[in-house]
Amino acid sequence: MHKKTSNKEFTSLFRDAALKTKSWHSVMRNNWRIKFSIHNTETIMVFISCTITHRSYVRFFSVEDEAVQFINFVVNLD
């Protein structure tokens, strides 16, 4: 049987990234679930998922206005 070992370097990198990331609860808009995360105060991650079709988008932005424009574009799709 294979014994599972932890990779301390990976664990350290994951922990460091998690400590530098802020995340908020998702919100619903026009059947789309939207979730924001900000990493290291400069990278915005937007996750958008349709509750009907389960289509999902993940995008990274460095400018908040561009993230908002993308969200508005997606949630207004038919």
Q: Is residue 4 in a domain?
A: no
Residue 27 structural domain: 19-75
Q: Is residue 63 in a domain?
A: yes
Q: Is residue 43 in a domain?
A: yes
Residue 18 sits at the vertex; the CA angle it makes with 17 and 22, to the nearest 5 degrees, is: 110
Q: Is residue 36 in a domain?
A: yes
Q: Is residue 6 in a domain?
A: no
Q: For the residues 25-51, what does the mean pLDDT come to?
A: 93
Q: Is residue 18 over pLDDT 60?
A: yes
Q: pLDDT value at position 74?
A: 92
Q: For the residues 22-47, what does the mean pLDDT come to?
A: 93
Report the C-alpha gap between 63 and 58 in whole angstroms.
Answer: 15
Average pLDDT, whole number, for the chain?
Answer: 88
Tokens linked to 78: 């038919």
Q: Is residue 8 in a domain?
A: no
Report the C-alpha gap between 75 and 24 in whole angstroms.
Answer: 18
How many domains, in total, are found in the chain? 1
- Residue found under tokens 């009907």: 52
